[in-house]
């Protein structure tokens, strides 16, 4: 049974709870909440724009009828991805990740990219275990304190 379904505006409240909890748990050490709290309204506005954008495919990760994560694709880029903190370690993220890559393959892409914060060690390990390779290409987050994002790439023909 597929985990992914199209994300819509009615999902935004649940999505923001999942994303905020994951961001605080996984990235709070470099986005300290006392000085750089999760920017809920900016993230809501970004998702609202992306849901409407013909260039972005936005997905809810659904398990047992509940929104348990999110993903977004833009061209061959895995733009956003995350699952609820209480699902970490259950295999849900790996299965959802694989479905997203299947969508990229079905769209004809042979390679994919994503960006992950260098300081997000859990995320870096997750992607490395799934064949993503870090590159020398970096950028800075648009959210203060502007940590480094690193591009990772993966061939899609090596399932």
- 149 forms beta bridges with 117, 139
Q: What is the mean pLDDT of the chain?
A: 96
What are the tens digits of pLDDT across the range 108-125? 999 999 999 999 999 999
Taking 90 as the threshold, does the pLDDT of residue 32 lie above it?
yes
Options 3.40.50.620, 3.40.630.30, 3.30.420.10, 3.40.1350.10; which CATH number does 4-112 get?
A: 3.40.630.30
Confidence of residue 159 (pLDDT cuts 50, 70, 90): low
Q: Break the chain into its structural domains and give their ranges.
A: 4-112
pTM given for the model: 0.95
Mean pLDDT across the stretch 100-114? Answer: 98
Rounded CA-CA distance 28/12 in Å is 22
- Record the tokens describing residue 49, joined without a space: 């724009």
Tokens of 10: 């009615």
3-state secondary structure the chain: CCCEEECCHHHHHHHHHHHHHHHHHHHCCCCCCCCCCCCHHHHHHHHHHHHHCCCEEEEEEEECCEEEEEEEEECCEEEEEEECHHHCCCCHHHHHHHHHHHHHHHCCCCEEEEEEECCCHHHHHHHHHCCCEEEEEEEECCCCCCCEEEEEEEECCCC
Mean pLDDT of 154-158: 89
User: What average pLDDT does range 26-45 have in this prediction?
Assistant: 95
Distance CA 112, CA 134 (A): 12
Residue 158: is its pLDDT beyond 80? no
Q: Is the pLDDT of residue 157 over 90?
A: no
Q: What is the mean pLDDT of the segment spanning 60-83?
A: 98
What pLDDT, in 10s, does the model give residues 77-91?
999 999 999 999 999
């Amino acid at each position: 049974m597929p985990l992914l379904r199209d994300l819509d505006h009615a999902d935004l409240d649940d999505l923001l709870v999942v994303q905020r909890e994951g961001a605080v748990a996984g990235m709070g050490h470099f986005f300290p909440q006392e000085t750089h709290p999760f920017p809920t309204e900016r993230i809501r506005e970004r998702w609202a724009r992306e849901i409407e954008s013909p260039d972005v495919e936005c997905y809810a990760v659904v398990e047992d009828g509940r929104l348990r994560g999110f993903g977004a694709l833009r061209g061959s880029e895995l733009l956003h991805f995350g699952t609820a903190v209480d699902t970490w370690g259950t295999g849900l993220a790996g299965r959802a990740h694989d479905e997203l890559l299947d969508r990229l393959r079905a769209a004809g892409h042979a390679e994919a990219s994503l960006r992950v914060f260098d300081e997000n060690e859990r995320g870096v390990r997750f992607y490395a275990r799934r064949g993503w390779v870090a590159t020398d290409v970096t950028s800075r987050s648009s959210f203060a304190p502007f940590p480094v994002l690193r591009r990772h790439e993966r061939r899609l023909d090596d399932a």
